[in-house]
Amino acid sequence: MSDLFEFYIDGAWVKPHGTAVETVVNPSTEQAVARIILGDSHDVDRAVGAARQAFAGFAASSLEARIELLQRIIQAYQRHSEALIEAVHLEMGAPLSLARSAHVPAGLGHLVQALNVLREYRFERRVGNTLVVREPIGVCALITPWNWPLNQLTCKLAPALAVGCTVVLKPSERAPLSARIIAQVLHEAEVPAGVFNLVNGDGPGVGAALVRHAEVDMVSFTGSTRAGVAVAKAAADTVKRVSQELGGKSANILLDDADLPSAVRHGVLGCMRNSGQSCNAPTRLLVPRAQQPAVIEIARQVLAQVCYDDSNPITAIGPLANAMQWERVQDMIAQAIAEGSRLIAGGLGRPAGVERGYYGRPTLFADVTPDMLVAREEIFGPVLAIIPYDSEAEAIDIANDSPYGLSGYVTSADLERSHQVARQLRTGMVHLNGARADQAAPFGGYKQSGNGREWGESGFDEYLESKSLFGY
C-alpha cells in the first residue's frame, strides 16, 4: 500500500496542511491500495494563489508555445499509459481490458483533440468595425468524478491549458491514483510552475472551498445533479462561471423496424459497460409493446454472457466503484422491486460465484411504466429498465418525460426515420443506430443534466471570455 501524502502545487510536490487520511480501496478485492491526505482551505488558498500568480504569464504565452506544450503532454501521457491502465483498474475497478481499450484512450483522445482544435481556433474575429477577442477566463477549478476519471479530467484540463488558463484540480478522493500520474505527466512535460495544481480532498472540504474562492474565476464540475446544485449555490456569491455535466437517464428507443438481435445486444451491453456507471448510459430501453417478449429473451441471453474475470472483454464488467455506490445500487433495486417493477434477471446481492468485491448483479426489469422509480432516477449501476410503448409519438413522449436530458439513442432500419425521432428528443446528444460518441462534437445535456458543453471546439469556449474592441 502506498502513502500518497503530497499535493502538487506551484511546480513541486508539497506537504499538505490538511491532516485527515483517506484510504483508497480496490473495489475488486476490497483491499486498501493507497492512502491520501484530504486537504483543507489552507491547501486550497495555496494552490489558488499559485494559479493566480502564474496566470498572467501563461495567458500571454504564444499559440506556438501552447501547441508545443500540448505535444509534450501527449508524449508524456503515452509513456505513462501502462501505469494509467493499472491505476484506473485499482482505483475504480474497471476491468483491465476496459481500462486499456476505453479509459486511457479516452484521456489521450481529449489531449489530441485539444491540440487539433488549438491549431485552427480563431481567438480573434472582425464584426463590422469591432474586433472580438477571446481571452482565457482565468483560474479554473476542475472537480472530477470517480467513474471515468481520465476522460473527465482530460476533457477539462486539455482545453483549459490550450487557451491559456491556469487550473487547480480536485479529483475524486475515491479515485485519486490516475490524477497523481497526470500530475507527473504534466511535470515531465514542463508545464510552467503554478499553471497546474493538484489538491486531494472531499467535496465538503476542498470542493466547497474551491467553489467559494474569490480568486477562482470558473468551476468545471462533473458529478451528480444533487452535488451540482450545491456547487452552483456556493459559486453564486462570487458570480463565477460554472459549467456542469451532471446526471442522466438516457432513453434508448428501438423503433418497430429495428434489427432486434443487434439493437438489443448493443443496448444491453451499452447499459452494462463500466458497470453502468456512465452518466450517458442507455438505462431506459423503449420497445414496441408487441416486441417486448422477444426483447426480454434476447436481453436475457446477453446478460447470461456477462463475466466478472475479464475472460471475455466484450461482456466483462467490473465492480461498482466503491462500497457506498454498491449500497446505493442495492437500495435502488430493492425499491424498484417493492414498487412493482417486474424483475427479469439479476436483483439483489453479488453475482453467483463472486464472494468478494463490490460487484452488482446485472439486473433487468420489464413492463416498467414511466412513473416508476427505475424509470426516473439515475441508479448508476448495471440496471436496465424495459419500457413498452404503443406508438412512435408515445415513445418520444416517454423519452422526454424526464428531469434529465443528457443523451438519447434511436435505432431504425430507416436512417431518415431515426433523424426525425432524434430531432424531437430534448437531449444534448443522440446516438443514431449505434453510432459512437465523437470527441470533436459537443458533450453535454439539457435540463438537470447540466449546462455548458465539453469536448472539441465547444470545450474551448467554456474557458474563454469575449472582449469587444469597438472602432478597432
Give the residue from 208, 172, 184 showing the smallest Cα distance to 76: 184
- Residue 73: all three cell numbers together: 503532454
Residue 151, SS3 per DSSP: helix
Contact of 428 with 445, CB cutoff 8 Å: yes
H-helix or E-strand spanning residue 286: strand 284-288
Distance in angstroms (rounded) separating the CA atoms of residues 141 and 137: 11
* C-alpha 109: how far from chain center: 14
* C-alpha 211: how far from chain center: 19
Distance in angstroms (rounded) separating the CA atoms of residues 245 and 155: 11
Q: What residue type is 228 in one-letter code?
A: G
Q: What residue type is 455 in one-letter code?
A: W
Q: What residue type is 191 in one-letter code?
A: V
User: Active-site residues: which are they?
Assistant: 245, 279
Contact of 331 with 286, CB cutoff 8 Å: no
Distance in angstroms (rounded) separating the CA atoms of residues 113 and 233: 32
Using CB atoms within 10 A of its CB, is residue 50 exposed (0-12), middle (13-18) or buried (19+)?
A: buried
Distance in angstroms (rounded) separating the CA atoms of residues 284 and 286: 6
H-helix or E-strand spanning residue 35: strand 31-38
Cβ neighbours around 462 below 10 Å, total: 21
Q: What residue type is 166 in one-letter code?
A: T
Which residues neighbour 98 within 8 Å (Cβ) at sequence distance 6 or greater?
A: 273, 274, 313, 316, 318
Largest CA distance in the chain: 73
Q: In DSSP terms, which residues pair with 410 in a beta bridge? A: 253, 432
Q: Residue-wise over 434-454: b if at least 16 C-beta within 10 A, else e? A: eeeeebeebbbbbbbbbbbbb
Q: What residue type is 294 in one-letter code?
A: A
Distance in angstroms (rounded) separating the CA atoms of residues 284 and 378: 10
Residue 376, SS3 per DSSP: helix
For the chain, the 3-state helix, strand and coil shares in percent, each to the nearest 5, are: 40, 25, 35
407-411 and 429-432 strand pairing? parallel
